Amino acid sequence: MATVLLVEKTGMQRASFADALRKRYTVITVSSGKQAIQQAQSCHIVVLDAISLRTPGDRIARQLKDGIGSLPLIHLHPEAKAKNNSPADALLFQPFTSRKLVNTIERLLTAPATDSVLEVGHLSLNSARRVLITNGQENSLTPKLALLVEMFMAHAGETLDRKRLMETVWHTNYLGDTRTLDVHIRWIRQMIEADPGTPQYLKTVRGVGYRLELPGLTALPEDSSALELTLQSV
């Protein structure tokens, strides 16, 4: 059963769309874009109910699209007619029925995904589905983990400094606290290393950052673009 993440205002007077959606899906409800991004990795699609939030929701939709990666986003708009400034995959204007919402969800869930697969050494990353395959094992990734893995695979053999990683993945150049990066590095090592405590592949370059070393690969020249990827903001 697919899981729908519904962003809505809690304690509403009107009936929530969650009631209708629960007849077909597992529904997780949150009340903010930040909470939605934190829950997104366990869901299949996100519905932004801007009607309940009493806002057009364009800013929240952009925040969500930046944070949920390739997950489909449906934006329920409070206005009958409005200029479309939303990055959502589908936009529903009032009035519409619960049936139309369900039909839209089904259309997006069954749409064929455009798979982008990067293979480096024994690692295979499906960017669209955010799945890392190593030694035949599939590992589901959060949006930020997927971007971090993509960076290391695209620059295998190169040392990536902490500042570059923080700027690209977390959009900050503040290096006073990099515990979040350290935690993500530990998670990646748990997926790809036989002994995460003594990493053979994702190595620490003391005082600089990290380097992905895989058998049979040599470091890329600094100006090489052979494996450069267009990294989407998360």
Kindly state whether residues 8 and 101 are assigned to the same domain: yes
Last residue of a domain, one of 75, 110, 145: 110
pTM of the model: 0.53
Predicted pLDDT at 65: 85
In the numeric block, which tokens belong to residue 26? Answer: 């597992």
Q: Is the dihedral of CA 54, 60, 61, 64 positive or negative?
A: negative
Secondary structure letter of residue 17 according to DSSP? T
C-alpha distance from residue 207 to each of 17, 163, 189 (Å): 51, 11, 19
Q: Report DSSP letters for 46-113, one per residue.
A: EEEEHHHHTS--HHHHHHHHHHSTT--EEEEESSSS-------SEEEESS--HHHHHHHHHHHHHSPP
Last residue of a domain, one of 64, 80, 110: 110
Predicted pLDDT at 113: 59
Kindly state whether residues 154 and 99 are assigned to the same domain: no
Q: Which amino acid is at 190?
A: Q
Predicted pLDDT at 1: 84
Whether residue 218 is contained in a domain is answered as no
Q: pLDDT averaged over consecutive 10-residue blocks of the chain (234 residues)?
A: 90 75 94 90 91 90 85 87 75 89 91 73 84 87 88 92 89 82 95 94 95 72 38 39
Query: Element (H or E) spanning 27, and its range?
Result: strand 26-30
Q: Which domain holds residue 66?
A: 3-110
Question: How many Cβ atoms from other residues are within 10 Å of residue 174's Cβ?
Answer: 10
Whether residue 224 is contained in a domain is answered as no
Last residue of a domain, one of 110, 132, 163: 110
Kindly state whether residues 58 and 97 are assigned to the same domain: yes
Q: Is the dihedral of CA 107, 88, 129, 22 positive or negative?
A: negative
Predicted pLDDT at 115: 61
Predicted pLDDT at 66: 83
Distance CA 227, CA 8 (A): 41
- Residue 202, domain CATH: 1.10.10.10
Kindly state whether residues 38 and 85 are assigned to the same domain: yes
Q: H helices of 116-231, where?
A: 143-154, 162-170, 179-192
Predicted pLDDT at 229: 40
Number of structural domains (the chain) is 2
Kindly state whether residues 69 and 30 are assigned to the same domain: yes
Whether residue 219 is contained in a domain is answered as no
Q: Which amino acid is at 107?
A: R
